């Protein structure tokens, strides 16, 4: 499955597949348990395709990090996310040697390892399928943003306001307006 369909929802553990849309949010399904529930527009949702890891030179997409783990482990689970922090740092340095240690924390590394293991366990990640999808989108030109020409809108002349004398004449039959802010005395 493509990483654009796999989501992380803030406040909820695990990963989710995008199943459908509703008027004020989306419907997701847990990758691990298959349970469906709505996610409303106020929740922060991130597609794994949009997530990157900081390095000394640039940001590396999460898909590239997953590919490196996949090649190292041979389509098997990687280091457990509950391992010692030093082990996790050493493992992550073996996968992405130039990561920025000032901006990539151990908690971020733990998330990456946990997400990768979840995807592999439930057969939701295949780097070959992801590469094919990227190649198809590049061939068809989907990556290129389409230029949209702004529509010309004809400006309508605003109606001229009626003179004040005409307005007074229209409202002369009505009683005088009351003052705001309390009762009127001596009227």
Q: What angle do CA 140, 47, 113 make, to 5 degrees?
A: 115
In the prediction, which pLDDT does 78 show? Answer: 84
pLDDT surpassing 60 at residue 115: yes
- What would the pLDDT profile of 73-103 be if each residue is shown by its tens digit? 887 888 888 889 999 999 999 999 999 999 9
% of the chain beyond a pLDDT of 90: 44
pLDDT classification of 4: cutoffs 50, 70, 90: confident
Token duo for residue 141: 């030109």
In the prediction, which pLDDT does 111 show? Answer: 92
pLDDT surpassing 60 at residue 142: no
Burial class (CB in 10 A: 0-12, 13-18, 19+), 25: middle
Q: How far apart are CA 185 and CA 41, in angstroms?
A: 53
Its pTM stands at 0.68
Under a CB-based contact definition with an 8 Å cutoff, are residues 88 and 110 in contact? yes
- What would the pLDDT profile of 17-50 be if each residue is shown by its tens digit? 999 999 999 999 999 899 999 999 889 999 999 9
Beta pairing class for 16-22 and 25-30: antiparallel
Domains, the chain, in order of start with CATH, read: 3-138 (1.10.10.1650)
- What is the pLDDT of the chain when averaged over all its residues? 78
Strand order in the sheet with 16-22: 36-40, 25-30, 16-22, 6-9, 45-47
């Amino acid at each position: 499955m493509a990483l654009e369909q796999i989501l992380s929802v803030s406040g909820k553990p695990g990963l989710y597949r995008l199943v459908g849309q509703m008027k004020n949010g989306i419907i997701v399904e847990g990758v691990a348990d298959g349970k469906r529930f709505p996610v409303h527009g106020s929740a922060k949702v991130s597609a794994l395709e949009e997530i990157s890891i900081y390095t000394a030179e640039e940001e590396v997409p999460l898909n590239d990090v997953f590919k490196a783990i996949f090649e190292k482990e041979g389509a098997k689970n990687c280091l457990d996310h509950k391992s010692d922090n030093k082990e996790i740092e050493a493992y992550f340095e073996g996968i992405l040697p130039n990561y920025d240690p000032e901006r990539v924390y151990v908690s971020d590394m733990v998330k990456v390892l946990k997400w990768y293991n979840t995807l592999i366990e439930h057969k939701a990640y295949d780097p070959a399928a992801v590469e094919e999808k990227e190649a198809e989108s590049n061939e068809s030109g989907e990556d290129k943003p389409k230029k949209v020409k702004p529509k010309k809108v004809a400006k309508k002349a605003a109606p001229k306001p009626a003179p004040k004398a005409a307005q007074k004449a229209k409202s002369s039959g009505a009683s005088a307006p009351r003052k705001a802010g309390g009762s009127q005395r001596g009227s």
